[in-house]
């Protein structure tokens, strides 16, 4: 899957001029998948190209694709495309690249009938997410959070041996641009043995994550080997795992996060394929040389040599006041997906290693992507170091954030919009962007 | 929803004789829903009646139902029936009761064309389970497990205030009769700081639970009030939450159970509606008078007066050797669903209280149903009191189980079949049975 082919050739350009701009997220080397909708029309599958979308259903209708792809290309979700064999996915990508490349032998006037401007399209959930699993794969995040709650013992003994993960709520995964209300929930009693209260979350946070989507699945009782794992990953998007820290603190023992997370999880609408990411695969990830080797089922040489993805990740915030005053969103942090302790292949292989059946469209979250330095921490909990806690950890450096309006943030306020961005870039290859993942917080609903 | 009407009348009998037997799980007062399949035919929705199934699609085709039900009745899963309004569900139930009752005014020779023998049908998953959530609602189970792992502090401070739950894996929910392989997974290092091993689970357990299925759902951002909650519950079935105790012990900190549960969860094929259970609703559940009152959003007078369900639950085991020698399964325990600390309405209301959207067909597990006495403990972990632990809790009474063949069980062996049964009965009403929930353990797959 990771071998470079002509679709990655940096000199390849498109006859769609906006795709040739150095700044675009969507050059012809990317071709990320999406599901979009035009007014009064049914949803359709597309790929992003510059500032436009190539409508795959229209392509199928116009005879631009090989017949074998017509059914999958005409669906209203990506699940059928995801379920195709790796070889077919490669064929489809090559054909789409061919249609959009300068010098295409296809009739451009026909292809143009399949193009729509992104500005005119409503981007929808890209696929039906059957199951959503969230991992905890950044050792810096795990160490930061562990230090706040267990200063003497931040990293649990299992962390370096087993990719820690838990099941998330699939129904409340929403696409970028969906606003949601601040959740209401039970909050800890103020004194030991006291009665909890119920009210709007006071410690609302984001978590910067990357999502992986399952391509072909496995039957219940089988597992996906580490050597095969990447063939089973269709692509990646950005994910914001909104977290109600106060609700979480009270509810999560002994069975893990529940209502603190299930009110909303936002993903970006574009799924960037592993094929598009091939030039940015790297050795680097956050498992130092001296650390224990993964057990055999999680180990492969290929995985070690190119298990990482050199993907830059950024978080921006825009408060309502900033928005009203026309102030641009401020950058809160920037990190890199190489800060993962576990590779994407290891996450998928571990997940299926007990025979659990993965299905096309299932979503695996990486867990918060945090790096070693303060400016690469992927949540407010870490950035402000438990900033709003009534009982801060002794010795902790509480560092609230001041916005350009003079507003202070320890956690998120009503009207705040959080914007995630992600992109891969290098001197030798075209930029591969993920677009944006946005979500805005509406005030809590007043209860009857 | 809970008011009794003519469909519960104990004197009501069916012209299908097997439904009038005192022993049947499926008298005309029950009419549990299922999805079944005959050889070479597509799946169909049905209701159980004595030893037969009334095929709802055929009923629709023959004009036996009101037109408004024809679409939902003709589907291959129950999700559309579940999504109907409570009033429509009541109407449909009344019509099915009318068709099958002695003295029906419908043409029995037509109805007979819609009947198939259960013995000839293959029972399938009753619905598409979008999300599966597992609760921890038996205080006796929570106390037993807590005592083993935290002898001085068995019940955490949140337990009596918040219904503890976590997200489960939906893809691996299977219907009764599905065999599965013993899972393989990471097992704790034998010494502190050591390297874990990987191998077949040694401490495989069942958990006796009850499943609830969501009827109409709620939009993301809304919640379901405690007063409305039971209108949103379609019905109940039996659930076996298979658990790999050794895998769980190593993986579950800090985010909860993951691969220890996701290899298989078995449900019984029949969904008994809340309407059928109405005569067995009761005051009794396991929250003693002196305990803290639930917070307002979880409190209602109606809920207190009839929040419980007087439902008897039994667990049977049949080893491969017993099966070969023709020995009947042995009963391991019998409990009652009144041993829940939280009512089914409280579980659903709490789940949606943060705005999490519930969808028709979503499944909520009760958590292991254990009672106060040893013979009502709903898992081997509790029955044998951590029987296979290398380091038993000081003072614990380890009590392995001896089978009629002389075999001993601390946890489940290969070839063991676990059978759950459930039923409601009283002097004044017909028995309402849940059928059985069976699953058999195949040996772990040898890995390449």
User: How far apart are alpha carbons A284 and A370 in whole angstroms?
Assistant: 15
Q: What is the pLDDT of residue B159?
A: 96
- Mean pLDDT calculated for residue range A147-166: 91
pTM for this predicted structure: 0.96
* Closest of B60, B47, B44 to residue B14, by C-alpha: B47
Q: What is the pLDDT of residue A1?
A: 43
List pLDDT tens digits, range B300-341: 877 667 899 999 999 999 999 999 999 999 999 999 999 999
**φ and ψ at A359, to 5 degrees?**
-120, 150
Per-residue tokens: B393: 């809790």
List pLDDT tens digits, range A157-196: 999 999 999 999 999 999 999 999 999 999 999 998 899 9
Q: What is the pLDDT of residue B305?
A: 75
What's the 3-state SS for chain A? CCCCCHHHCCCCCECCHHHHCCCCCCCCCCCCEEEEECCCCCCEEEEEECCEEEEHHHHHHCCCCCHHHHHHHCCCCCHHHHCCCHHHHHHHHHHHHHHHECCCCCCHHHHHHHEEEHHHCEEECCCCCCCEEEECCCHHHHHHHHHHHCCCCCCCCCCCCCCCEEECCCCCEEECCCCEECCEEEECCCCCCCCCEEEECCCEECCEEEEEEECCCCCCCCCCCCCCHHHHEEEEEEEECCEEHHHHHHHCCCCCCCCCCCCCEEECCCEEEHHHHHHHEECCCCCCCCCCCCCHHHCCHHHHHHCEECCEEEEEEECHHHHHCCCCCEEEEEEEHHHCCCCHHHHHHHHHCCCCCCCCCCEEECCCCCCCCHHHCCCHHHHCCCCCCCCCCCCCCCCCEECCCCCEECCCCCCCEEEEEEEECCCCCCCEEEEEEEEEEECCCCCC
CB A408, CB A164: distance < 8 Å:
no
Chain A nearest C-alpha distance from B321 (Å): 24
- Residues of B within 8 A of A448 (CB-CB) are 225
Please pick, among A8, A141, A350, A351, the residue that the annotation labels catalytic.
A141
CB A187, CB A280: distance < 8 Å:
no
CA-to-CA dists, residue B195 to A142, A201, B177, B258, B410, angstroms: 20, 40, 37, 20, 26
Q: How confident is the model at residue A151 (pLDDT cuts 50, 70, 90)?
A: confident
User: How far apart are alpha carbons B218 and B447 in whole angstroms?
Assistant: 44
CA-to-CA dists, residue A368 to A25, A209, A241, A249, A371, angstroms: 23, 5, 8, 17, 10
List pLDDT tens digits, range A56-99: 999 999 999 999 999 999 999 999 999 999 999 999 999 999 99
Helix (H) or strand (E) segment spanning residue B77 = none
Of A258, A263, A355, the CB nearest to B263: A355
Q: Which sign does the torsion angle of CA B82, B87, B91, B93 carry? A: positive
Partner residues linked to B14 by β-bridges:
B101
β-pairing, A233-240 vs A208-214, is: antiparallel
Nearest 10 degrees: Cα torsion A302, A307, A310, A316: 170
DSSP string covering B39-63, please?
TTS--EEEEEETTEEEEHHHHHHTT
Q: What is the pLDDT of residue A306?
A: 84
List pLDDT tens digits, range B29-75: 999 999 999 999 999 999 999 999 999 999 999 999 999 999 999 99
Which region, left, alpha or beta, applies to residue A377 given φ > 0 means left and ψ of -120 to 50 means alpha? beta
Q: What is the three-class DSSP state of B183?
A: coil
Q: Which residue of A has its CA nearest to B220?
A: A172
Contact B158 A196 (CB under 8 A): yes
CB B417, CB B19: distance < 8 Å:
no
What does the angle CA A380 – CA A383 – CA A388 come to, to the nearest 5 degrees? Answer: 60
List pLDDT tens digits, range A342-380: 999 999 999 999 999 999 999 999 999 999 999 999 999
Of A181, A355, A362, the CB nearest to B355: A181
Q: What is the pLDDT of residue A76?
A: 98
Of B166, B186, B448, the CB nearest to A256: B166
Q: What is the pLDDT of residue A2?
A: 47
Contact A161 B196 (CB under 8 A): yes
Residues in chain B with pLDDT < 70?
Answer: 1-4, 303-304, 386-398, 447-448
- Residues of B within 8 A of A157 (CB-CB) are 189, 192-193
Per-residue tokens: B86: 């409570």
User: How far apart are alpha carbons B9 and B29 in whole angstroms?
Assistant: 7
- Residues of A within 8 A of B262 (CB-CB) are 167, 354, 356
For residue B83, the 8-state DSSP code is T
Chain B nearest C-alpha distance from A342 (Å): 15
Per-residue tokens: B31: 């009419």
pLDDT, mean over chain B: 94
List pLDDT tens digits, range A21-36: 999 999 999 999 999 9
Pick from A145, A166, A167, A266 the residue to mutate for testing the B interface (most B CBs within 10 Å).
Answer: A167
Please enumerate in sequence order all residues whose Cβ is within 8 A of that of A18, keeping only pairs 6 or more positions apart, or say none.
A24, A49, A50, A51, A52
Q: Is the peptide bond before B254 cis (omega within 30 degrees of 0)?
A: yes
Q: Which residue of B has its CA nearest to A167?
A: B167
β-pairing, A281-282 vs A401-402, is: unpaired
Chain B nearest C-alpha distance from A158 (Å): 7
Active site residue A161: no
Q: What is the pLDDT of residue B38?
A: 96
Cα radius of gyration (chain A): 22
Of B170, B262, B292, the CB nearest to A354: B262
Q: Is the peptide bond before A254 cis (omega within 30 degrees of 0)?
A: yes
CB A270, CB A301: distance < 8 Å:
no
Q: Which residue of A has its CA nearest to B180?
A: A221
* Closest of B30, B27, B32, B24 to residue B15, by C-alpha: B27
Please enumerate in sequence order all residues whose Cβ is within 8 A of that of A296, keeping only pairs 6 or more positions apart, or say none.
B198
**φ and ψ at B250, to 5 degrees?**
-85, -35
Which stretch of A43-47, A117-121, B8-12 has the lowest confidence by average pLDDT? B8-12
A288 burial class (0-12, 13-18, 19+ CB within 10 angstroms)? exposed
What's the 3-state SS for A406-438? CCEECCCCCCCEEEEEEEECCCCCCCEEEEEEE
Per-residue tokens: A84: 């195709």
In chain A the domains, ranked by start, together with CATH numbers, are: 6-123 (2.30.30.230), 132-442 (3.90.850.10)
CB B260, CB B185: distance < 8 Å:
yes
Q: Which residue has the tokens 């190539």?
A: A54
* Closest of A33, A210, A239 to residue A127, by C-alpha: A33
pLDDT score of A394 more than 60: no
ipTM greater than 0.85, yes or no? yes
Residues of B carrying an active site annotation:
141
Number of A to B CB contacts under 8 A, please give it.
Answer: 192
In terms of DSSP H, where are the helices of B280-378? 301-306, 320-324, 344-352
A55 or B149: which carries more pLDDT confidence? A55
Nearest 10 degrees: Cα torsion B282, B288, B294, B299: 20
Q: Which sign does the torsion angle of CA B103, B104, B107, B113 carry? A: negative
User: How far apart are alpha carbons B121 and A411 in whole angstroms?
Assistant: 57
- Mean pLDDT calculated for residue range A207-217: 98
CB B295, CB B276: distance < 8 Å:
no
User: How far apart are alpha carbons A214 and A83 in whole angstroms?
Assistant: 8
User: How far apart are alpha carbons B49 and B16 in whole angstroms?
Assistant: 8
β-pairing, B180-181 vs A432-442, is: unpaired
Q: Which residue of B has its CA nearest to A250?
A: B158
List pLDDT tens digits, range B362-404: 999 999 999 999 999 999 999 988 664 544 545 555 678 999 9
Per-residue tokens: B298: 């979880």
Chain A nearest C-alpha distance from B119 (Å): 26
What does the angle CA A417 – CA A421 – CA A425 come to, to the nearest 5 degrees? Answer: 165
Cα radius of gyration (chain B): 22
pLDDT, mean over chain A: 94
Contact A356 B259 (CB under 8 A): yes
Chain A nearest C-alpha distance from B446 (Å): 11
For residue B359, the 8-state DSSP code is -
Contact B193 A157 (CB under 8 A): yes
Q: What is the pLDDT of residue B371?
A: 95
Contact A131 B171 (CB under 8 A): yes
* Closest of B189, B323, B321 to residue B246, by C-alpha: B189
Partner residues linked to A402 by β-bridges:
A408
User: How far apart are alpha carbons B391 and B409 in whole angstroms?
Assistant: 18
């Amino acid at each position: 899957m990771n071998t470079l082919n002509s679709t990655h050739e940096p000199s390849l350009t498109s006859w769609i001029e906006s795709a040739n701009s150095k700044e675009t997220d969507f050059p012809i080397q990317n071709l990320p998948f999406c599901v979009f909708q035009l007014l009064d029309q049914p949803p359709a599958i597309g790929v992003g190209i510059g500032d436009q979308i190539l409508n795959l259903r229209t392509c199928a209708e116009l005879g631009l694709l090989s017949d074998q792809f017509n059914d999958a290309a005409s669906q209203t979700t990506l699940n059928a495309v995801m379920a195709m064999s790796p070889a077919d996915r490669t064929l489809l990508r090559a054909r789409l690249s061919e249609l959009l490349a300068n010098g295409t032998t296809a009739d451009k006037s026909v292809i143009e009938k399949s193009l729509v401007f992104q500005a005119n399209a409503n981007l929808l959930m890209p696929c039906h997410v059957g199951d959503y699993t969230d991992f905890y794969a950044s050792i810096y995040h795990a160490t930061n959070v562990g230090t706040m709650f267990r200063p003497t013992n931040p990293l649990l003994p299992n962390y370096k041996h087993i990719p820690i993960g838990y099941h998330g709520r699939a129904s409340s995964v929403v696409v970028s641009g969906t606003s949601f209300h601040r959740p209401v929930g039970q909050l800890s009693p103020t004194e030991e043995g006291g009665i909890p209260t119920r009210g709007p979350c006071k410690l609302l946070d984001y978590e910067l994550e990357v999502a992986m989507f399952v391509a072909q699945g496995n039957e219940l009782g089988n597992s996906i080997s580490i050597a095969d794992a990447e063939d089973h990953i269709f692509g990646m998007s950005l994910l914001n795992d909104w977290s109600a820290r106060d609700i979480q603190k009270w509810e999560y023992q002994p069975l893990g996060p529940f209502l603190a997370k299930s009110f909303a999880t936002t993903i970006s609408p574009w799924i960037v394929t592993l094929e598009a990411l091939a030039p940015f695969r790297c050795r680097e990830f956050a498992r130092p040389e001296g650390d224990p080797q993964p057990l055999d089922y999680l180990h492969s040489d290929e995985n070690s040599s190119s298990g990482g993805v050199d993907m830059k990740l950024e978080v921006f915030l825009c408060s309502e006041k900033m928005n009203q005053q026309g102030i641009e969103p401020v950058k809160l942090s920037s990190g890199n997906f190489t800060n993962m302790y576990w590779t994407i292949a290891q996450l998928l292989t571990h997940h299926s290693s007990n025979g659990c059946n993965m299905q096309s469209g299932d979503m695996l979250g990486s867990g918060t992507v945090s790096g070693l330095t303060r400016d690469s921490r992927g949540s407010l909990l870490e950035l402000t170091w438990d900033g709003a806690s009534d009982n801060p950890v002794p010795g902790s450096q509480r560092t609230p954030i001041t916005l350009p309006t003079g507003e202070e943030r320890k956690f998120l306020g009503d009207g705040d919009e959080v914007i995630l961005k992600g992109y891969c870039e290098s001197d030798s290859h075209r930029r591969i962007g993920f677009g944006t993942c946005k979500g805005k917080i509406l005030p809590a609903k007043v209860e009857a």
